[in-house]
Structure 1
Amino acid sequence: MKLTLRFNTVLLLMTTAFSGFAQQKNAKLDSIPASPFVFPNTFETDTTAVPLVDEQLAFYNYSFTNKKRLDSIRNVIPMDYNEYVQKYIDVYTGRKNMMGKMLGMSSYYFPIFEKALKAYNIPDELKYLPIIESAMNPHAVSRVGATGLWQFMFTTAKGYGLNMDNFVDERKDPVQASFAAAAYFRDAYESLGDWLLAIAAYNCGAGNVNRAIQKANSRDFWEIRPYLPQETRNYVPAFIAAVYVMNYAKSHQIMAQKSPLAQKTDTVQVNRFVSLTALSEALELETDALFVLNPSYKKKIVNGTEESPKRIIMPAAQLDNFARIYEVLNDLPVDVDTRVYLASNDDKRLRNKSRQQASKSAANVQHSYHRVQRGQNLSTIANKYNVEVQDLKVWNNLKGSMVVPGQRLIISAKAAPTKAAPAKSKTYISYKPKGSGSGSAKI
């Protein structure tokens, strides 16, 4: 199926970065759930890898300069300065290589984040959150399955309109995931009424935040902090510190590193299946260079259809390559099974829970029988398994209390053989219907 675009229209699209998608996405804003907190507790306590700090910090390095700088950064979200924030300033200013990479990638990612946050009237400062969530790596996956730049869990992602199937994982799509994150923060702030609390809820869930509020009898983050999960206690000060370092990097000799992400890109919508490998060849690029701009396509296949066009972002193309690019986008067949299957929930906590339940069931099976050891009697065995001596006698058809070493005893009613119930006798009731001869009916 060919694109319904003339060649010159394609060229126009390819010279207008993000414009087509911006209109499409703005038209879809209302499709994202507007009710407060669709899945408020899906984010648990390990969606990030925030370095831990001591709970009882000695504030020996108070910096009036850092406090003044944070006060100057403050816009909507409070940029409080205390010993915990200072500790993370020390951590991040000590990671000059990492923060230099963040500065380099910010020139590509921040405009995407800012556009999504602005669409929902969310404070611009939240664009720094992916630094501590994923180190701005769209392929980041936490130990529990949180995925992408914004570290969405599967259920939360589905609730905020992101799609996961055998071709695509939109949690890895910088644009799609950013709009979903902005929608989440809209709901979090409407529910909690405070931006630091909303940030905390993004990490540990609104349920944990509300419980901490009740225990502390306060809605101030720093007062409820001791009642939050350990990672969340550090999550908010780490965020404030990241904002500080990104704004005052040069003051700490942190320089932006060159990013592998192209700074000048073109965007085109396709309504057919397109191979990113073939497109990269047409663009005279390494496949990975194109894949890093389109990280959500699992098979490096863009599965566009008439009903659901897909977006491709590419480095600005050379004029000499346009004819080949047009062929790939319009005519080149892709040898792939085009059937789409929805992805299953990849929350690793569910698998851990299943393993624990299976282990518990196995333990129950192992404990259904007991091999009598030397010196044991029915009383000691009954006490060991918290059952009655009389039950042991019934389950094992024992007439007395004598047991011998090596004897195997049933110690669970579930493992005891059941006796076949006597067959119910068939009852026949004789009656004589009106207007007929004698007869009988079976009830």
Structure 2
Amino acid sequence: MKINVLFASCILALTSFSAIAQQHQALQINDTIPVPVLPETPTFYNHNFGYKARLDSIQKMVPLSYNEHVQKYIDIYSGRKDMMGKMLGLSDYYFPVFEKALKYYNIPEEIKYLPVIESSMNAHAVSRVGATGLWQFMFATAKDYGLNMDNFVDERKDPIQASYAAAAYFRDAYEELGDWLLAIAAYNCGMGNVKKAMLKADSQDFWEIRGYLPMETRNYVPAFIAAIYVMNYPGQHQIRVQKSPFVKNTDTIHVNRFVSLPQLAGALSIDEDALCSLNPSYKKKIVNGTELEPKRIIIPKVNMAQFAQIYEVLNNAELDVNPNVVLASNDDRRRKKKVVERPLAAVSYHKVRPGQTLSAIADQYHVEVQDLKVWNGLKGSSIVPGQKLKVHNPQPSKKRKMAIKG
């Protein structure tokens, strides 16, 4: 089977590849660490005007209030020097991914800090109630926002896919609530709980409705603000940036056949765990690409000397694996898991109208420009009126229903 392979260079500021396996294993945790719950204090005695000035200086779209609640979490996170040093290293790899997705939906860049408190930026993090991935999506919310979970893949663990889903959630939450701190609170406890608190407090200000929210959410927003502070001012708290476990430069390839990540790692002469850490959503270490649904693989940037070996794995290597895909019906580990046969991927064709751009068409169907290029064999971004473009799994531009997270 002939394969279309597209290399799109992605510059992600990272470090050596040799430490990936160790770091990857260290990040494999069974549960996420919840935001610590702190007791309420009636009076605030240790007001630090220096902290307030620093928060004011980095404030953009999201209000970065300074008060006793934020101060408590600054004390906590500034004291976790090893953890925050790791977060700073990981941010070199993940923040460009988050920023691109947030920009696509016109979401404030500051939201990129949320995975610091959600998952410690661990793509394999799973909470006690089943929230999964960097952005800690619950199963129902993930499905509502277009993420796929089946026997081969869990897209909640895909940094790219999950980031776009999170950005879409925040778009909807802000449209509904009109305030970024309330949208952040809703991401933690659900839209319904935030609206109830707003009614009880007769207010649209987070700090006024805070006492009517679930305890975890009361602390969630202050912890988020504190994390932003510490990530921006590590030097003031003797926090040293630790080396990222990921490579500095990567390429993206799209494959339309099944590919073994261990075999590909061998062709690339890198550790198997290192390649899997760049592609955390594939459960079986197998990329199940098809003609209808090409799949993305992130690899270290290659040279021409490696290309022949890579080409052999991508085009000619055979895998003894059942290709049938089954969708997960839920991931609540307290219930028996059910699977249903997955229908064939939906494909439609878009006829280019005068004045349309590839970016506008991608936005219309909630897909990436790069994917449109791959599906249609386009080398550049030029399109002409009347041209028909193939679109896989088209999603109409309509507001999706939100589910309560956590």
TM-score range, shorter chain: 0.7 to 0.9
Match of 1:17 in 2: 10
State the secondary structure of the residue aligned to 1:16.
strand
Map 1:14-413 → 2, pairs under 5 A: 14=7, 16-17=9-10, 49-56=34-41, 58-348=43-333
State the secondary structure of the residue aligned to 1:158.
helix
Q: For each residue in 1:269-308, what CA deviation from the matched residue of structure 2 results, as whole angstroms up to 9, or x when unmatched? A: 0000000000001111111000000000000000000000
Amino acid at match of 1:17: C
Whole-Å separation in 2 of the counterparts to 1:347 and 1:151: 14
State the secondary structure of the residue aligned to 2:287.
strand
Distance apart, 1:86 and its partner CA: 0.5
Amino acid at match of 2:7: M
Amino acid at match of 1:340: V
State the secondary structure of the residue aligned to 1:257.
coil
Q: Does the 8 Å CA contact 2:119/2:135 hold for their aligned counterparts?
A: yes
Whole-Å separation in 2 of the counterparts to 1:209 and 1:347: 24
Whole-Å separation in 2 of the counterparts to 1:210 and 1:115: 30
Whole-Å separation in 1 of the counterparts to 2:84 and 2:332: 29
Unaligned runs of 5+ in 1: 20-45, 352-443
Q: For each residue in 1:91-149, what CA deviation from the matched residue of structure 2 results, as whole angstroms up to 9, or x when unmatched? A: 00000100000000101100000000000000000000000000000000000000000
Q: Does the 8 Å CA contact 1:14/1:316 hold for their aligned counterparts?
A: no
State the secondary structure of the residue aligned to 1:51.
coil
TM-score, normalised with respect to structure 1: 0.70
Whole-Å separation in 2 of the counterparts to 1:70 and 1:284: 45
Distance apart, 1:17 and its partner CA: 2.5
Distance apart, 1:241 and its partner CA: 0.3
Sequence identity (%): 69
Amino acid at match of 1:332: A
Distance apart, 1:350 and its partner CA: 6.4
Amino acid at match of 2:2: K
Q: For each residue in 1:330-358, what CA deviation from the matched residue of structure 2 results, as whole angstroms up to 9, or x when unmatched? A: 1111111000000120135768xxxxxxx
Amino acid at match of 2:159: P
Q: For each residue in 1:299-319, what CA deviation from the matched residue of structure 2 results, as whole angstroms up to 9, or x when unmatched? A: 000000000000000111243
Distance apart, 1:47 and its partner CA: 8.0
Q: Does the 8 Å CA contact 1:146/1:347 hold for their aligned counterparts?
A: no
Q: Does the 8 Å CA contact 1:107/1:263 hold for their aligned counterparts?
A: no
State the secondary structure of the residue aligned to 1:342.
strand
Q: Does the 8 Å CA contact 1:144/1:347 hold for their aligned counterparts?
A: yes
Q: Does the 8 Å CA contact 1:137/1:148 hold for their aligned counterparts?
A: yes
Amino acid at match of 2:214: P
Q: Does the 8 Å CA contact 1:47/1:203 hold for their aligned counterparts?
A: no
Higher relative contact order (CA 8 A, sep 6+): 2
Q: Does the 8 Å CA contact 1:57/1:84 hold for their aligned counterparts?
A: no
Q: 1:286 to 1:138 in 2, by over 3 A?
A: same
Match of 2:372 in 1: none
Distance apart, 1:15 and its partner CA: 5.6
Q: Does the 8 Å CA contact 1:133/1:149 hold for their aligned counterparts?
A: yes
Q: 1:187 to 1:349 in 2, by over 3 A?
A: farther
State the secondary structure of the residue aligned to 1:297.
coil
Whole-Å separation in 2 of the counterparts to 1:47 and 1:59: 30
Q: 1:349 to 1:196 in 2, by over 3 A?
A: farther
Q: 1:193 to 1:150 in 2, by over 3 A?
A: same
State the secondary structure of the residue aligned to 1:269.
strand
Q: Does the 8 Å CA contact 1:103/1:256 hold for their aligned counterparts?
A: yes
Distance apart, 1:56 and its partner CA: 2.0
Q: For each residue in 1:21-59, what CA deviation from the matched residue of structure 2 results, as whole angstroms up to 9, or x when unmatched? A: xxxxxxxxxxxxxxxxxxxxxxxxx98610111122542
Q: For each residue in 1:189-229, what CA deviation from the matched residue of structure 2 results, as whole angstroms up to 9, or x when unmatched? A: 00111100000000000100011111111111011111100
Q: Does the 8 Å CA contact 2:148/2:154 hold for their aligned counterparts?
A: yes
Whole-Å separation in 2 of the counterparts to 1:48 and 1:346: 19
Equivalent pairs counted in the alignment come to 318
TM-score, normalised with respect to structure 2: 0.76
Distance apart, 1:160 and its partner CA: 0.3
Q: Does the 8 Å CA contact 2:11/2:249 hold for their aligned counterparts?
A: no
Amino acid at match of 1:2: K
Amino acid at match of 1:314: I
Q: Does the 8 Å CA contact 1:47/1:144 hold for their aligned counterparts?
A: no
Q: Does the 8 Å CA contact 1:144/1:349 hold for their aligned counterparts?
A: no
Whole-Å separation in 1 of the counterparts to 2:123 and 2:181: 24
Unaligned runs of 5+ in 2: 13-30, 337-406
Q: Does the 8 Å CA contact 2:74/2:226 hold for their aligned counterparts?
A: yes
Whole-Å separation in 2 of the counterparts to 1:81 and 1:350: 43
Whole-Å separation in 2 of the counterparts to 1:166 and 1:244: 40
Whole-Å separation in 2 of the counterparts to 1:196 and 1:283: 45
Whole-Å separation in 2 of the counterparts to 1:231 and 1:90: 18
